[in-house]
Chain A
Amino acid sequence: MTSTTSTAEPILEVTGLVKHYPLTRGILFKKQIGAVKAVDGVDFTLARGETLGIVGESGCGKSTVAKLLCNLERPTAGSIRFKGEDITKLSGKALKAVRRNIQMVFQDPYTSLNPRMTVGDIIGEPYDIHPEAAPKGDRRRRVQELLDVVGLDPEYVNRYPHQFSGGQRQRIGIARGLALRPEVIVADEPVSALDVSVQAQVINLMDRLQSEFDLSYVFIAHDLSIVRHISDRVGVMYLGRIVEIGRDAEIYDHPTHPYTQALLSAVPVPDPEAREQRERIILSGDVPSPTNIPSGCRFRTRCWKAQERCVREVPALAVPAVFRDTSGPAAHASACHFAEEKQVVPAEDS
């Protein structure tokens, strides 16, 4: 991973992103009775060559963010600027051109590859949609190059997905994502369907490709350990919003938002001795429904620190006042009225 800082010129800039899915009642006279607030005001930037990890539990809206970034869904409000240009308003040719530059890698390598197409056709399909990316006669060679790049035998072009293992299929999905030489790759849980020993292979591959092709990643996952491994910066999502964002050491070693602290403390660490030094915060209850988001701070219904103010006032995602004048690692954006530093992951001993 490169040591790019977030101060470099951003390649993606997301501001006030909102996606509400309306809930309607009635057949003839449709009436909107509410909305699933999947994404409810998300801001972040992605610098060139950087990896931004987005973590959160199921239903927090992280996959919807991925779809919005790739223009597979139109946002209800907000903007996504790719190199300064708002891509949410684009259509036609301009939209197509932008899509070339932002590609997606999906979670499930079993369902995201068409079983009736050969691997060569799957990886080459982006060239049918964007013929200007590769001249016709050149495509087969390019596909074989891509197979080689992701560590598969170029001779496999005529095989079908079922002839590959899960890890190999994910490599095919990554090769397809690379076909158009995009600048940004949005990876939605790219390794969560894979076995542990194969996960490491795919993560190492993504790492290598990033420096080889100068890629910027948005890496979405629920596994906090994997996200720490691959990310330069990490955003923690809860119920459609980012509650805390910062560099990986800031989030993992100096979290200030109670949700991040609970999330980190709940992750099982594969070391029985480290476990005994850890304090675990077990949250009560479940995540509230995104159709009925609590007032004020959306985490307050599960928070042990919640007070009157949390019911009334929505906390902004900014550096909390207590840390504003410090320059330490706790001074990063955290949406909590009562932010305080708490170390929940034992410090690295080696």
Chain B
Amino acid sequence: MRGADGALLEVRDLKVEFRTRDGVAHAVNGVSYEVDAGETLAVLGESGSGKSVTAQAVMGILDTPPGKVTGGRILFQGRDLLTLKEEERRRIRGAGMAMIFQDALSALNPVISVGDQLGEMFVVHRGMSKKDARGKAVELMERVRIPAAAQRVRDYPHQFSGGMRQRIMIAMALALEPALIIADEPTTALDVTVQAQVMDLLAELQREYHMGLILITHDLGVVADVADRIAVMYAGKIVESAPVRDIYKAPAHPYTRGLLDSIPRLDQKGHQLYAIKGLPPNLMHIPPGCSFHPRCPMARDVCRTDEPPLYEVSGTRGSACHFWRECLDDLDDLDG
């Protein structure tokens, strides 16, 4: 794997649990990843895979309780965030790293104008006057290409369309020019034509500011369009990590392969979709050994008992499958 020095963000063996009435849910079970400045890392996974919880732990916005970071380190620009006081973490949020949420309508305050919400960033973090902050808000809205920004700065979130609201979310995340942006399903709630507009804007701004970007998504199509690297999560772990091209060409984990085979393609009309059998595991009772083994077409005895580490497939790739070589080799196995 890649050398760690110089990474903007380095997550090491992170573990997060949720203590609930019914038991302890192991949401994140030893996740490690790195993001460099200017790089886009896509974290791909289905619901319950722990992709959002990992991001919330990085941002420091985990609901505690019931959530609790029980192990690991989060190094941001060399500092371990988990050892910082809440006051210091608050300063990093916004100025050092910022988050874009999926649902802009519920992430924005409905009774405060968007101008005031954007301006608040400058009042709180930079100690600006309200008037100057308003000017900054207009500037930001122009930067994310909201038409007639100077007039619309007084409008409330409900007066904007979904795509425009998501632009406001992006503007808010960019306000203090953070080094890292975490976007949690930023375009999932949007229509496909608007999705493309928003994704393009985000990619362009990322290049302009040379930010690190963590893109959390379940959509393999969106990932292919913008990511440099992909980390695939399953049951709170990274099961495969690779540069984006490699993973689409030849996945080295049966879960990734199943996912790729199970999505209908716009450019192909198949008759039967490959379906991964069964359901994602209950996080309170994660299967022993490889957590994917009950659904895996390649599973053998060793998979039921021994948990696979993230094997090194090449200098830039890793796969948490005992049989990653076979997975790479006989690509026709699943079709039979």
Interface contact B273-A57, CB-CB below 8 Å: no
| Residue from B245, B258, B259, B273 in contact with A273 in the complex, judged by beta carbons closer than 8 Å | B245
Among the stretches B136-144, B208-216, B221-229, the one at the interface with A is B221-229
Interface string of B102-118 (1 = CB under 8 A from A): 00000000000000000
Q: Could you tell me if A267 and B221 are in contact, using CB atoms closer than 8 angstroms?
A: yes
Q: Chain B 272-314 against A: per-residue CB contact (8 Å), 1 yes, 0 no?
A: 1111110110000000000000000000000000000000000
Tell which of B46, B220, B244 touches A195, judged by Cβ atoms closer than 8 Å: B46
Interface pair A270/B260, CB less than 8 Å apart: yes
- Contact segment of B10-18, B61-69, B76-84, B261-269: B261-269
- Judge if A252 is at the interface, Cβ distance under 8 Å: yes
Say which residue of A165, A262, A347 sits within 8 Å of B279 (CB atoms).
A165
Answer whether residue A228 sits at the interface, using C-beta atoms and an 8 A cutoff. yes
Taking a contact as CB atoms under 8 Å apart, the answer to whether A222 and B192 are in contact is: yes
Whether B224 contacts A269 by the Cβ 8 Å rule is yes
Q: Is A229 an interface residue (CB 8 A)?
A: yes
B residues in contact with A196, CB < 8 Å: 46, 218, 220, 259, 262-263
Interface size on B, residues (CB 8 A): 47
Taking the closest CB of chain A, its distance from the CB of B134, in whole angstroms, is 25
The docked-state distance in angstroms from the alpha carbon of A225 to that of B268 is 9
List of A residues within 8 angstroms of B265 by Cβ: 225, 229, 269-270
B245 engages A272 (CB within 8 Å): yes
Whole-angstrom distance between the Cβ of B292 and the nearest chain A Cβ: 11
- Nearest CB of chain B from residue A303's CB, rounded to whole Å: 12
Q: Mark A245-260, 1 if CB is under 8 A from B, else 0.
A: 0001100100000000
Measured in the bound complex, the distance between the Cα atoms of B194 and A57 in whole Å is: 10
Q: Which of B47, B161, B221, B267 contacts A345 (CB 8 A)?
A: B267
Which of B26-34, B148-156, B170-178, B195-203 lines the interface with chain A? B195-203
The number of chain A residues touching the other chain, given as a range, is 35 or more
> Which of B193, B200, B272, B274 counts the most A-chain CB atoms under 10 A from its CB?
B193
Q: CA separation between A229 and B260, bound complex, in Å?
A: 15
A-facing residues in B22-78 (Cβ within 8 Å): 46-47
Residues of chain A within 8 A of B223, CB atoms compared:
268, 270
Q: CB-CB < 8 A to A200: which residues of B?
A: 262-264, 273-276
Is A101 on the interface with B (CB-CB < 8 A)? Answer: no
Mask, A275-292, CB within 8 Å of B = 1, is 100001011001100000
Pair B200/A282 contact, Cβ less than 8 Å? yes
B333 within 8 A of A: no
**B259:A57 contact, CB within 8 angstroms:** no
Once A270-B248, A271-B248 are accepted as A-B contacts, the answer to whether A203 and B264 lie under 8 Å apart by CB is yes
Instruction: Check A271–B191 contact: CB distance below 8 A.
Output: no
Asked if A270 contacts B245 (CB within 8 A), the reply is no
Do B267 and A347 touch (CB < 8 A)? yes
By a CB distance below 8 angstroms, the chain B residues around A252 are: 266-267
With A and B bound together, what is the CA distance between A8 and B61 in angstroms? 59
B269 and A197 form a contact (CB under 8 A)? no
Contacts of B163 in A (CB 8 A): 286
**Distance between Cα atoms of A264 and B275 in the complex (Å):** 25
For A322, list chain B residues within 8 Å (CB).
Answer: none
| Option from B224, B264, B272, B280 in Cβ contact (under 8 Å) with A225 | B264
The residue among A198, A203, A230, A274 with the most chain B CB atoms within 10 A of its own CB is: A198
A222 to B194, CA, bound (A): 13
Asked if A270 and B193 sit within 8 Å, CB to CB, the answer is no
Nearest chain-A residue to B265 (Cβ)? A225
- Are B269's CB and A57's CB within 8 A? no
A348's partner among B164, B200, B264, B268 (CB-CB below 8 A) is B268
Q: Are B259 and A268 in contact (CB under 8 A)?
A: no
- Per-residue CB proximity of A155-166 to B under 8 Å, as 1/0? 000000000010
Please state if A345 and B266 are interface contacts (CB–CB under 8 Å): yes
Does B336 interact with chain A (Cβ within 8 Å)? no
Q: Given B218, B248, B280, which contacts A272 in the complex, CB threshold below 8 Å?
A: B248
Interface string of A54-84 (1 = CB under 8 A from B): 0001100000000000000000000000000
Name the distance in Å between A276's Cβ and chain B's nearest Cβ. Answer: 10
With the chains together, A58 CA to B193 CA distance in Å? 11
Least CB distance, A252 to chain B, in whole angstroms = 7
Q: Could you tell me which residues of chain A, from 317 to 350, have a CB within 8 Å of some CB in chain B?
A: 345-348, 350
**Residues in A neighbouring B222, C-beta threshold 8 A:** 268
CB neighbours (8 Å) of B270 from chain A are: 229
Check if B275 sits within 8 Å of A204, measured CB to CB. Answer: yes
Check if B271 is an interface residue, CB within 8 A of chain A. yes
A198 to B268, CA, bound (A): 20
Nearest neighbor of A207 in chain B, beta-carbon distance: B272
- Does B219 sit within 8 A of A, measured CB to CB? yes
B249 partner residues in chain A, CB cutoff 8 A: 273
Q: Is the CB of B267 within 8 A of A272?
A: no
Contact of A270 among B191, B197, B224 (CB under 8 A): B224
Q: B224-244: which residues lie under 8 A (CB-CB) from chain A?
A: 224-225, 244
Within the assembled complex, what's the spacing in Å between the Cα atoms of A252 and B267?
8
Cβ of A226 within 8 Å of any chain B Cβ, yes or no, is yes
B191, B244, B260, B271 — most chain A CB neighbours (10 Å):
B191
What are 20 sample pairs from A and B whose C-beta atoms fall under 8 A apart?
Answer: A1-B271, A57-B192, A167-B279, A195-B280, A199-B262, A200-B264, A203-B264, A222-B191, A225-B266, A226-B264, A228-B266, A230-B264, A262-B193, A266-B195, A267-B221, A268-B219, A268-B222, A270-B263, A272-B224, A273-B249
* Beyond A280-B196, A350-B268, 15 additional pairs, beta carbon < 8 A: A165-B279, A197-B280, A200-B262, A200-B275, A201-B275, A225-B263, A225-B264, A225-B265, A230-B264, A263-B192, A266-B195, A270-B248, A274-B267, A282-B196, A346-B267
Interface, chain B (partner A; CB < 8 A):
46-47, 161-164, 191-197, 200, 218-225, 244-245, 248-249, 258-260, 262-277, 279-280
Name the 3 nearest CB pairs between A and B, nearest first.
Answer: A268-B221, A229-B264, A57-B191
